[in-house]
């Protein structure tokens, strides 16, 4: 038996009384993608102080298993503690700044910096210093690498790089709509099938945009006219800072009209602010996740999750669909080389979006609001 996600008693997301989109047409200035100074503002006010997905819980199942995450100029070590929770600290040796841990691994008891053998516990506390007596003892007192706030939900490890007490608790941040709607897929019971990575020369938000609308599908992905028509029946929702899009599965619009169980009869996209987009098919799903490197360099990862099953038919059709999807995602990646070329032009001024692309300006305006609020807060200090 293969698990099939279902709406159950959750909110209705499809039907004649539900409008296509809550958004109006919008505009985003080109500089929001191309300005290197803006990227540093995004790191400070948007990415570092908010919850982001780091990796799968199943990648560190046992005590001492650890994962090194690198992105947006930061490097962080996550380790499974003895009590089953996950610890996280910035991977910066407090002696002279070397990376303490270079690779993921299993069963560590402590971490030793390769430069001069300083020793750290799972929480980043300095617990060993060779020739300790030669140092200013006051400097060593309570020394630790900064803590990262960590939690787990949906089988994913999430983190706030700025540390504890900066963002609301994870479940509060995700909110009831995401917890119930995305939660219906029971991602904690899925497993990681594959991660596909592309290094691309565009801003990280170009990738968020690419998976936030269906408007490009007819031209770029050459979908047939009936699917284009059915695609216009999509529904879009905004949940505070996150958003969602329901697109009928190929050929399944009549079924969806009859039984509006969006989880089992549609593709559901969930944009989890600020840096994750889920593309949920009923039988398997993808996380599209840009990891910003600089203002115009991004590591783009697609994480593929499957349900646990030994049903040969499920495995065969899911494999076939996933292989097809990798080609489709490759088409999206291909368009970014054009955006990389034009992003330096002095004549590239702004993007304009229709109402069905409304999730995009909605997303960018939230990024902008956080920057403006953060700058105001800092100026008032």
Structure tokens belonging to residue 160: 């706030």
Binding string, 322-341, against Fe ion, x = CB under 5 A?
----------x---------
Site for ligand FES in 216-255 (CB under 6 A): none
Does 113 interact with ligand FES (rule: CB under 6 A)? yes
Task: Find the distance separating the first CA and the last CA of the chain, reported in whole Å.
Answer: 59
Q: Out of ligand FES, Fe ion, none, which partner does residue 362 contact, by CB within 5 to 8 A per kind?
A: none
In whole angstroms, how close is the CB of 94 to ligand FES at the nearest point? 8
CA–CA distance, 283 with 267 (Å, rounded to integer): 10
The single residue among 23, 89, 118, 362 that binds ligand FES, judged by CB under 6 A, is 118
* Binding-site partner at residue 80 among ligand FES, Fe ion, none, CB < 5 to 8 Å by type: none
The site partner of 158 among Fe ion, ligand FES, none (C-beta below 5 to 8 Å per kind) is: none
3-class DSSP assignment, residue 171: helix
Measured CA to CA in angstroms, residue 107 lies from 113, 121, 363 at distances of: 17, 13, 40
Q: Taking the complex as a whole, how short is the minimal distance between the CB of residue 119 and ligand FES, in angstroms?
A: 9
DSSP state of 145: P
Cβ atoms of 268 and 252 within 8 Å: the answer is: no
Partner that binds at residue 287, options ligand FES, Fe ion, none, CB closer than 5 to 8 Å by kind: none
Site residues for ligand FES, 70-99, by CB under 6 A, read: 93, 95-96, 98
Size of the site for Fe ion (CB under 5 A): 1
Distance, C-alpha 162 to centroid of its chain: 17
Distances (CA, A) of 344 to 126, 170, 199: 45, 37, 18
CB 292 within 8 A of CB 47: yes
356 binds, among ligand FES, Fe ion, none (CB under 5 to 8 A by kind): none
Residue with Cβ nearer ligand FES (77 or 246): 77
Partner from ligand FES, Fe ion, none contacting 332, C-beta within 5 to 8 A by type:
Fe ion
Cβ 112 to ligand FES shortest distance, Å:
8
Q: Is 142 left (phi over 0), alpha (psi -120 to 50) or beta?
A: left
Which range, of 109-117, 143-151, 295-303, 312-320, touches ligand FES by CB under 6 A?
109-117
Q: Where are the beta strands (DSSP E) in the chain?
A: 26-29, 52-56, 66-71, 74-80, 86-90, 111-112, 119-120, 126-128, 149-153, 156-160, 190-200, 235-239, 242-248, 266-272, 276-280, 284-294, 297-307, 350-353
By CB under 5 A, name the binding residues for Fe ion.
332
By CB under 6 A, name the binding residues for ligand FES.
93, 95-96, 98, 113, 115-116, 118
């Amino acid at each position: 038996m293969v698990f099939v996600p279902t709406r159950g008693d959750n909110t209705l997301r499809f039907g004649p009384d539900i409008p296509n989109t809550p958004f109006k047409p919008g505009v985003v200035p080109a500089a929001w993608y191309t300005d290197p100074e803006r990227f540093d503002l995004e790191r400070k006010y948007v990415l570092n102080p908010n919850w982001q997905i780091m990796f799968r819980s199943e990648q560190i199942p046992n005590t001492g298993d650890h994962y090194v995450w690198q992105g947006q100029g930061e490097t962080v070590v996550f380790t499974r503690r003895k009590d089953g929770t996950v610890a996280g600290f910035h991977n910066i040796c407090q002696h002279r700044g070397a990376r303490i841990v270079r690779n993921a691994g299993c069963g560590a008891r402590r971490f030793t910096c390769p430069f001069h053998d300083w020793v750290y516990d799972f929480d980043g506390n300095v617990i060993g210093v060779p020739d300790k007596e030669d140092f200013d003892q006051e400097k060593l007192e309570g020394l630790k690498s900064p803590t990262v706030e960590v939690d787990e939900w949906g089988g994913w490890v999430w983190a706030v790089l700025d540390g504890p007490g900066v963002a609301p608790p994870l479940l509060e941040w995700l909110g009831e709509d995401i917890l119930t709607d995305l939660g219906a897929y029971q991602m904690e019971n899925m497993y990681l099938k594959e991660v596909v990575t592309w290094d691309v020369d565009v801003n990280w938000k170009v990738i968020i945009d690419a998976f936030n609308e269906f408007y490009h599908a007819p031209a770029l992905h050459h979908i047939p006219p009936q699917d284009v028509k059915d695609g216009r029946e999509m529904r879009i929702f905004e949940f505070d800072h996150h958003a969602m899009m329901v697109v009928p599965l190929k050929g399944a619009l009549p079924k969806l009209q009859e039984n509006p169980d969006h989880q089992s009869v549609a593709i559901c996209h969930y944009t989890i602010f600020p840096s994750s987009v889920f593309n949920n098919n009923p039988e398997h799903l993808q996380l599209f996740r840009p990891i910003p490197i600089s203002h115009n360099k991004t590591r783009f990862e697609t994480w593929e999750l499957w349900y646990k099953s030994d049903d040969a038919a499920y495995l065969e059709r899911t494999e076939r669909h996933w292989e097809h999807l990798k080609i489709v995602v490759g088409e999206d990646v291909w368009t970014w080389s054009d955006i990389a070329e034009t992003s330096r032009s002095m004549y590239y001024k702004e993007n304009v979006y229709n109402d069905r692309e409304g999730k995009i300006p909605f997303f960018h305006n939230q990024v902008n609001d956080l920057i403006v609020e953060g700058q105001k807060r800092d100026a008032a200090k």
